[in-house]
Amino acid sequence: MAAETTQDPNAQVEEASPGFVHNMLAGIGAPILELYGTLRDMVRILGLTIYYIINGKGGPRRRNDIISQMYEIGNRSIVFIAVTLGFLGMILIFQAGFQANRITGDLSLLGALFLQLLLREFAPTITAMMLATRVGTGMAAQLGSMVVTEQVDALRMSGAQPVDYLVVPRFIAALIMMVVLTVFAIIVSFIAGAITANAFYGVNPRTFVDFGMLTWFDLWIGMAKAIAYGIAVPITACQAGLSVVGGSEGVGLATTKAVVNASLAVIVLDFIISGIGYAILAIL
């Protein structure tokens, strides 16, 4: 009787192993497939957006939508960006001035180097992060709510294309405002840095405001990043909003997805553009 009820431990392992391997492969493959699907949707939406910008017939309605979106983006972001970039400029100058004063005692190039750093890196990248947080979530929530309440389906039934009607105005507005807000961020942060340098280290504002080290490369790489971020943020946000599944819970997940994807896109684009820019600079 005991011999009949005894089970082979190896048989249990063999039976459990296929399930374990399946779960492990599913855990690895599912995020990859999800990422592939997200990237495919983003490319499709970007392609349709460019197509409708070139061939669409928006007319006065589109112009009004673009102006409305530009106002909404600026109104949501300008104070946030001013405070963030202002304090960032103060912190960077305080730390850089302290180190330079301790090592060399020469602060004559502090302003010129800080301006280069702002143009190349901090102003466009931090501004894009702010837009991803403040504006990207709003776009995803708006479009997600329209999907949940079947307004997007109603647009399709009436003959309108959701990308043309909803995405294009947000895309153009975000692209324009990204460049404008980047320039604004540079000005605010540089002024805050100049005030800090004068208050803590006695650097004359005329010495701090030094454009002698600026090159066309600095302007080019800064604006290239601003334009790339201005494309990436609205596309990732709109993709997250239009792919909502379910009710209010799906809208909440879409806003989180928009922030994560937009922030990741900004970091990746920052690395790619910086690498390409410095490679070109090395060749020239």
20 occurs within a structural domain:
no
Mean pLDDT of 155-175: 91
6 occurs within a structural domain:
no
Domain range for 115 is: 59-283
Distance in angstroms (rounded) separating the CA atoms of residues 139 and 4: 66
Which token pair is 194?
A: 């100049």
Decide: 195 and 92 in contact? Cβ < 8 Å: no
Which token pair is 126?
A: 């931090």
Distance in angstroms (rounded) separating the CA atoms of residues 222 and 263: 17
Q: What are phi and psi of 244, to 5 degrees?
A: -65, 135
More confident residue, 100 or 187: 187
pLDDT of residue 119: 93
195 occurs within a structural domain:
yes
More confident residue, 268 or 11: 268
Contact partners, residue 152, CB within 8 Å, separation at least 6: 143, 146, 162, 166, 242
56 has pLDDT over 80? no
Q: pLDDT tens, 232-245? A: 999 999 999 999 88
26 has pLDDT over 80? no
Which residue matches tokens 């699907």? 37
241 occurs within a structural domain:
yes
pLDDT of residue 13: 46
* Domains identified in the chain, total number: 1
pLDDT of residue 14: 46
Percentage, residues of the chain above pLDDT 90: 54
- Cα separations in angstroms, 29 against 17, 23, 41: 18, 10, 18
By the 10 Å C-beta count (0-12 exposed, 13-18 middle, 19+ buried), 127 is classed as buried
Q: DSSP letters along 182-241, please?
A: HHHHHHHHHHHHHHHHHHHH---HHHH---TT--HHHHHHHHHHHHHHHHHHHHHHHHHH
Q: pLDDT tens, 89-146? A: 999 999 998 888 888 877 888 888 999 999 999 999 999 999 998 899 999 999 999 9
Distance in angstroms (rounded) separating the CA atoms of residues 196 and 174: 32
Mean pLDDT of 207-213: 85
230 occurs within a structural domain:
yes
132 occurs within a structural domain:
yes
Residues 96, 78, 135, 32, Cα dihedral to 10°: -10
More confident residue, 207 or 7: 207
Confidence of residue 1 (pLDDT cuts 50, 70, 90): very low
Residues 259, 264, 270, 272, Cα dihedral to 10°: -150
More confident residue, 228 or 213: 228
User: Quick count: other Cβ atoms within 10 Å of Cβ 71?
Assistant: 12
Distance in angstroms (rounded) separating the CA atoms of residues 176 and 53: 14
221 has pLDDT over 50? yes
12 has pLDDT over 60? no
